[in-house]
Amino acid sequence: MPKLHVREFLERFVRPLVAGGELHVAAPIPLADVERWTGELDHASVELVAVDEARHVVLSTLVCRPPAFVLDSDELCLAAGLHNALFLVHPRADQWSVSEKQRRRIIETALALVSQPLSRNRTRVMARHALLNNLFHLTRNDVTVSWWTGRARFHGQTPPARLVAWKGMRRVREEVTVVDFDELLAVPDTAPVIATLLRRTPMTQLLDSHPGAPPLHWEDAVFLLRDSELARAVAYRLVPDAGPRDQVIGPARLAAAFEQMLERAPEEADIRAVAAFLVHLNALFCLGEMSLREAGARSPLISTVLSAEAAGQRPRGLATLFALPGALALVDPRLSVPPGVESIPALAKRWMVHRAQTAELLSDAVIDALAQRLRRHLRPGQVARDPSEVIALSPNESSEQDPAPQG
């Protein structure tokens, strides 16, 4: 069998992965092939440039000036690992000719490919996100063809023409079922590969998610909040211009991850950064209601998502998200209000309305319990310096030491 060239892999799999289109999943890729492809990258400039341009387009909606990057060997490994994971749900992988031992080999190869070093480099993180931005939106069309004497199912494959011929006479019926992340990448064989892959691209996890995806590990992603441009991009992506329930899904997911973070032993600065970011999301909710006709009217958003009738349908973390400003006011008041809210009277009024309404709907017990959990991590005895003082004393270092996003 002829060896596959890297340009075919880039053309048939990587570029559709970035820009959309048909991702062709073929036989699993051994490690030796990936190492060979790394050397062949220099001979696939056209395909490489196409992939990088597609990644620039993806990032152009997030940052003003996407950084310059070129597809690297570790990104090639990540893509190959994803390819191998997708092969595990290939119909050929379920047949008798593929033994359990062979499946385990594929899984181990995929894990080895995606186990690239974690990175906190801004360019690298953005490049990886651009590569994997469609990860949660991969779909596959499964066609079920039924005819007068039988039926057959084709997973992501076109049924052969002989099966769909003479539709009227043979009473051929085709049913297309679209399967998504749940059935492709959240199955037991692929889940560990995807979990490992997602830890390599924390930005993708911040910006997007799927109910079947592994939860965010805040410690891997908190460094992104210290980049004001990226933090702002994440915040604006998380609060879309949509209905109340759609608006809170993303922030509630991050708040649920914050709950998990509180159960571990993270650094205090990380806790403060995430808490300040979630409080900032609360301020965005207020900002979205600035155009209400009555400045002191109750918030329709909070009334909808926190109503007692919808208590059973609340997404995880929602209560924590809205209770956080109140809890922080008890623990560290400097974090409880985003900087600059008081300078806009209308925004400050909406903020007060939101806090009062939240306290009324969530009860003080919820807020007190969260405050207790926060006290375990935020040491009140140690008076932290005011971030503004830090900026005044040392402007060069302020951006690195300021835990709160300046969005």
Q: Determine if 36 is a binding residue for another protein (CB under 8 A).
A: no
Residue 20 vs 240, nearer CB to another protein: 20
Give the one residue of 53, 94, 108, 397 binding another protein; rule: CB under 8 A.
108
CB of 248 closer than 8 Å to CB of 294:
no
Please report, as residue ranges, which positions from 115 to 144 form the binding site for another protein (by CB under 8 A): 115, 117-120, 133-134, 137-141
CB of 128 closer than 8 Å to CB of 71:
no
**Shortest gap between Cβ of 25 and another protein (angstroms)?**
5
Q: Determine if 64 is a binding residue for another protein (CB under 8 A).
A: no
**Shortest gap between Cβ of 407 and another protein (angstroms)?**
21
Instruction: Output the CA angle 71-72-76, nearest 5 degrees.
Output: 85
Residue with token string 């990175």: 119
Residue 25 vs 404, nearer CB to another protein: 25
**Shortest gap between Cβ of 396 and another protein (angstroms)?**
22
**Shortest gap between Cβ of 245 and another protein (angstroms)?**
23
Give the one residue of 9, 14, 79, 156 binding another protein; rule: CB under 8 A.
156
Give the one residue of 44, 51, 69, 90 binding another protein; rule: CB under 8 A.
90
Q: Determine if 86 is a binding residue for another protein (CB under 8 A).
A: yes
Q: Find, among 114, 301, 306, 278, the residue nearest to 191 by Cα.
A: 114
Q: Determine if 396 is a binding residue for another protein (CB under 8 A).
A: no
Please report, as residue ranges, which positions from 169 to 198 form the binding site for another protein (by CB under 8 A): 184, 196
Give the one residue of 38, 157, 228, 357 binding another protein; rule: CB under 8 A.
157
Q: Determine if 205 is a binding residue for another protein (CB under 8 A).
A: no
Dihedral sign of CA atoms 22, 27, 30, 35 in order: negative
**Shortest gap between Cβ of 1 and another protein (angstroms)?**
8
d(C-alpha 155, C-alpha 158), whole Å: 8
- Write the CA distances from 47 to 8, 50, 70, 190, integer angstroms: 8, 5, 11, 28
Structure tokens at 215: 């939860």
Give the one residue of 47, 71, 109, 324 binding another protein; rule: CB under 8 A.
109
**Shortest gap between Cβ of 156 and another protein (angstroms)?**
4
**Shortest gap between Cβ of 3 and another protein (angstroms)?**
12
Q: Where are the alpha helices (DSSP H) in 296-344?
A: 300-305, 318-331, 333-336
Long-range contacts of 257-260 (CB under 8 A, 24+ apart): 257/215, 257/216, 257/217, 257/218, 257/317, 258/218, 258/317, 258/320, 258/324, 259/316, 259/317, 259/320, 260/215, 260/218
Q: Determine if 382 is a binding residue for another protein (CB under 8 A).
A: no
Give the one residue of 30, 159, 288, 339 binding another protein; rule: CB under 8 A.
30
Q: Determine if 27 is a binding residue for another protein (CB under 8 A).
A: yes
d(C-alpha 235, C-alpha 238), whole Å: 5
Crossing angle of helices 244-263 and 318-331, rounded to 10° = 60
**Shortest gap between Cβ of 133 and another protein (angstroms)?**
8
Number of residues lying near another protein (CB under 8 A): 51
d(C-alpha 113, C-alpha 28), whole Å: 12
Q: Determine if 60 is a binding residue for another protein (CB under 8 A).
A: yes
Structure tokens at 175: 């049913």
**Shortest gap between Cβ of 208 and another protein (angstroms)?**
12
d(C-alpha 407, C-alpha 404), whole Å: 9
Candidates 28-36, 44-52, 207-215, 241-249; binding stretch for another protein (CB under 8 A): 28-36
d(C-alpha 301, C-alpha 288), whole Å: 10
Main-chain dihedrals φ then ψ at residue 156, nearest 5 degrees: 65, 25
Q: What is the DSSP letter of 332?
A: -
Query: Applying CB under 8 A, which residues contact another protein?
Result: 1, 16-28, 30-32, 57-58, 60-61, 86, 90-92, 97-98, 102, 105-106, 108-109, 111-112, 115, 117-120, 133-134, 137-141, 155-157, 184, 196
